[in-house]
Amino acid sequence: MSYCTVTQFLEHMLLMLADRHIKCSVDYTYNFNMQRFSYLDHFLLSGVLFDESVLSVSVRHDMDNNISYHDPLVMSMNLEGGVFELTGRSFKERIAWCKANETNIHEYRHL
């Protein structure tokens, strides 16, 4: 079985992390007893939304959140209809391993 990193997955799916945006002001989204802090929660966006629509990405540390160590992540976006263009559906050919028989697998290994 082949594994990939999160970065490879995002690149393959053409997705962007909102925390990479210049208008992101998030320092952490998770804290454990105000001693350990991490950035665990994320928004994933298409390239068009990332480039054209993000107004801000922030976190709310001011809430009394007794049921979770995660603070709410907030993203504001401008989603006016004129920003986007409809394009044809893109198709990326992939191997359907669930449909492969032993001969297909042998031929693939040989390549």
49-63 tens-digit pLDDT: 999 899 999 998 876
pLDDT attached to residue 66:
64
User: What span, in angstroms and rounded, lies between the C-alpha atoms of 29 and 42?
Assistant: 9
Domain extents in the chain = 18-80
Res. 106: pLDDT tops 60: yes
pLDDT attached to residue 65:
65
Strands 36-38 and 44-46: unpaired
pTM, entire model: 0.61
Cβ proximity of 51 and 20 under 8 Å: no
User: What span, in angstroms and rounded, lies between the C-alpha atoms of 59 and 39?
Assistant: 10
